[in-house]
Structure 1
Amino acid sequence: MRTSSRFLGALAAAASFAPSALAQNNEPVTFTDPGTGIVLNSWGLANGAPQTQGGYTFGMALPSDALTTDATEFIGYLQCAAKDEKGWCGISLGGPMTNSLLITAWPNEDTVYTSLRYATGYAMPDVYSGDAKITQIASTINSTHFTLVFRCENCLQWNQGGSSGGAATSSGFMVLGWVQAFPSPGNPTCPDEVTLEQHDNGMGIWGAVLDSKAANPSYTAWAAKATKTVTGDCSGATPTDVVGVPVPTGTAYDYIVVGGGAGGIPIADKLSEAGKKVLLIEKGFASTGEHGGVLKPDWLAGTQLTRFDVPGLCNQIWVDSKGIACEDTDQMAGCVLGGGTAVNAGLWFKPYALDFDYLFPTGWKSKDIQAAISRVFSRIPGTYAPSTDGKRYYQQGFDVLAGGLSKGGWTKVTANDAPNSKNRTFSNSPFMFSGGQRGGPLATYLNTAKKRSNFDLWLNTTVRRVVRDGGHITGVEVEAFRSGGRVGTVNVTNVSGRVILSAGTFGSAKILLRSGIGPADQLQIVKASTIDGPTMISNTS
């Protein structure tokens, strides 16, 4: 075992700490670190627990008045699992991965490194830009575990790009999140450039009760033990710069459609069908095999299918979202070609008439859209039996519920044959799958659009903002989201050209606000942002 402090007995002591699952064990266990004498409230998962291999422990000690006055710092303890001295783990001080201060830790040779991070989406978190600081008290590394005792200053209140949050220790309760993984991080000696592989060894959120032993009069003396600052060495870090491709000179389109999802793909198809020169811009990469996607599990090797083609892999995004989930929203969303239709469960229901009649204006009532609905379902008919052999499997749960509902007076219907029968009815689910594979806009509208010479598709490209002269849009400014994406400004046809934003609820709004379009109070928030403020278009232009 290699050790960087008086911590030789910690692993053995911590191994005996074996509470039940974090989510089910909110009450703390008092843990005294034998190497430092620091007393902490601790929570953990035992080695052998079903949620993770090797166990996981987090502990916290607070200043003496922290249960009456909200603390800004704490002393933390992490014991995390490793394989052959490799792996990483983390703690979210706000519970979820997004919009919380994240502490990540990993071993490399004889050092445990840390990095404070902040995520706005379900992707690699950014380096935290606030004034939080970690100094180490003790650490150990062996082949199966690594441990770290540390002081985290200014860590219980956070602010990143105008988004703020914090944990109130005076409430005697905190919501925390945990995660750990076995793959070794990339660039491990450079905390600011580290790349963390998807967590493959468990994650979760729990409510942590702080008892009277969490706050201790010895805190100041313990904090003084934190004297080691690990800055790392970035001389050997692998560059992660994105390389973009300049927008071709003189390029212009009748319509630029932003967002290759459920809205953007069909409208780009229809406009190109009408003879318009159309550009569809998607920030993500190709998803399904027929459009050039390559991401797949080993058991699909030798086929043209990807993970996105296989309906049963839709939930994979919750455990393997790297490069797929959008980074610029704190809601789970697919930033790949097809958007949500490439990653969701593919449920495919005809709309309920009353939704349109009650919520939508004249011209958009249910009777006005029936022809459009018929056209959509002629292109994407859907199926109630998504398997290739036309059979439904694992129906035991449905059968139990159906039996109970039937005895309770409910009626079984075929959902899309009776879209307005919503009262005390049930149905097998309809899916937008075809031949056992994902269907939807990717397999229909995009295929026909790509056959036309007046249609172009740019992948891995983000629209930063629309370019406008007063109220008239002249083009869009784009930047590479990944290498190979476009960089520069692409114009619309003079006078008659149009831009259609279909980048989702959050994505379209972000583009508008960056472009100086939106409510005045929200534009002031964007203007104050260190990321978007300096380059946003004034709302007075």
Structure 2
Amino acid sequence: MRSCAIRLRALVNIYGGDLFTVSEASADVFRDPDTGFSFSQKDVAITTNNNFITFRIAIPSPAPAGQPYDAVIQIVAPVAAGWVGAAWGGSMTNNPLLIGWANGASGVVSMRRATSHTAPTAYTGASVQLLKKGTKSNGTHWQVTAKCTGCTQFTTTGTTTKTLNPAGSNRLAFAYSKTKPSQPGSDTSTINVHDLFNYWDHDFASAGNPEFQDLVDRNL
């Protein structure tokens, strides 16, 4: 049996019944009591004083090797984060970029793509669906949970196709901005340039969920 998240650090906040738990370990399995998903999770630092964004990934089990499959991503960010983007291809260009931000007590997600070092534009090669039961905010953090179709297999440049390995580690990237989108209620809102970006290797092998589609349906 896969172990639950190891070495929890003191970042558990209860506010109005909402629970946010972030693990300090480099690669843990987090079983979300709200959505029912088992996520592989990773904390990435955004400052030098222990401020983190937590990225969680859930995929179907078994997922077909070499074929596209849906994925659920959950982002937990401090309220100081105006928006957070997750780049599925491990760079800021030529791959699906899922962007999320808080909008009051709820959240917004948007699919973008950049082909150069310019502001990303709307991307129709992938679709994203917000999962309401996994999306919330409190006085210290906001969280968005979304299903992405088209994020695990995509064309990078020309006819080159990249497929994320469901049984191993995949290099992902993130971007973070302290400034909120200009129209936080709109998934097409303009966003400003990020303040920080970085990369990490995410363990997809521990992200499997045998009841993946049932869990998606329960959380819409």
TM category (shorter chain) comes to: 0.7 to 0.9
TM-score by length of 1: 0.35
* Pick aligned residue for 2:99 from 86, 96, 104: 104
Alignment of 1:294-309 (within 5 A): none
* Pair 1:225-2:208 in alignment: no
Give ranges in structure 1 of 5+ residues lacking alignment: 1-6, 20-24, 228-541
Relative to structure 1, the CA distance from residue 161 to residue 186 in structure 2 (aligned partners, 3 Å threshold; closer, same or farther) is farther
* Pair 1:65-2:65 in alignment: no
* Pick aligned residue for 1:208 from 199, 202, 207: 202
Match of 2:164 in 1: 168
Match of 1:39 in 2: 38
* Pick aligned residue for 1:189 from 181, 185, 188: 185
Report if aligned partners of 2:57, 2:204 keep a CA contact under 8 Å in 1.
Answer: no
Higher relative contact order (CA 8 A, sep 6+): 2
Report if aligned partners of 1:66, 1:169 keep a CA contact under 8 Å in 2.
Answer: no
Structure 2 CA distance, aligned partners of 1:71 and 1:62? 11
Report if aligned partners of 2:109, 2:146 keep a CA contact under 8 Å in 1.
Answer: no
Report if aligned partners of 1:157, 1:164 keep a CA contact under 8 Å in 2.
Answer: no
Structure 2 SS opposite 1:37: coil
Aligned length: 204
Q: Which amino acid aligns with 1:117?
A: R
* Pick aligned residue for 1:10 from 19, 37, 47: 19
How much does 1:81 deviate? 2.0
* Pick aligned residue for 1:121 from 116, 123, 133: 116
How much does 1:162 deviate? 5.4
* Pair 1:139-2:135 in alignment: yes
Structure 2 CA distance, aligned partners of 1:62 and 1:96? 21
Q: Which amino acid aligns with 2:33?
A: P
Structure 2 CA distance, aligned partners of 1:217 and 1:64? 5
How much does 1:164 deviate? 5.3
Q: Which amino acid aligns with 2:76?
A: Q
Q: Which amino acid aligns with 2:199?
A: I
Root-mean-square deviation (Å): 2.6
Tell me which protein shows more helix as a share of its residues: 1
How much does 1:207 deviate? 1.9
Report if aligned partners of 2:111, 2:126 keep a CA contact under 8 Å in 1.
Answer: no
Relative to structure 1, the CA distance from residue 191 to residue 53 in structure 2 (aligned partners, 3 Å threshold; closer, same or farther) is farther
How much does 1:111 deviate? 2.5
How much does 1:163 deviate? 6.0
Alignment of 1:383-462 (within 5 A): none
Q: Name the larger-Rg structure.
A: 1
Structure 2 SS opposite 1:169: coil
- The sequence identity of aligned pairs, in percent, is 24
Structure 2 CA distance, aligned partners of 1:205 and 1:131? 21
Measured against aligned partners, the alpha-carbon deviations of 1:269-320 in whole angstroms (never above 9, x if no partner) come to xxxxxxxxxxxxxxxxxxxxxxxxxxxxxxxxxxxxxxxxxxxxxxxxxxxx
Structure 1 SS opposite 2:154: strand
Structure 2 SS opposite 1:148: strand
Report if aligned partners of 1:92, 1:176 keep a CA contact under 8 Å in 2.
Answer: yes
Alignment of 1:472-511 (within 5 A): none
How much does 1:72 deviate? 2.0
Tell me which protein shows more strand as a share of its residues: 2
Measured against aligned partners, the alpha-carbon deviations of 1:308-354 in whole angstroms (never above 9, x if no partner) come to xxxxxxxxxxxxxxxxxxxxxxxxxxxxxxxxxxxxxxxxxxxxxxx
Report if aligned partners of 1:18, 1:46 keep a CA contact under 8 Å in 2.
Answer: no
Give ranges in structure 2 of 5+ residues lacking alignment: 1-15
Relative to structure 1, the CA distance from residue 115 to residue 161 in structure 2 (aligned partners, 3 Å threshold; closer, same or farther) is farther
Match of 1:94 in 2: 89
* Pick aligned residue for 2:154 from 150, 155, 158: 158
TM-score by length of 2: 0.81
Structure 1 CA distance, aligned partners of 2:126 and 2:160? 13
Structure 2 CA distance, aligned partners of 1:153 and 1:8? 31
How much does 1:176 deviate? 0.2
Structure 2 CA distance, aligned partners of 1:129 and 1:163? 17
Structure 1 CA distance, aligned partners of 2:175 and 2:141? 14
Measured against aligned partners, the alpha-carbon deviations of 1:243-263 in whole angstroms (never above 9, x if no partner) come to xxxxxxxxxxxxxxxxxxxxx
Report if aligned partners of 1:93, 1:167 keep a CA contact under 8 Å in 2.
Answer: no
Structure 2 SS opposite 1:60: strand
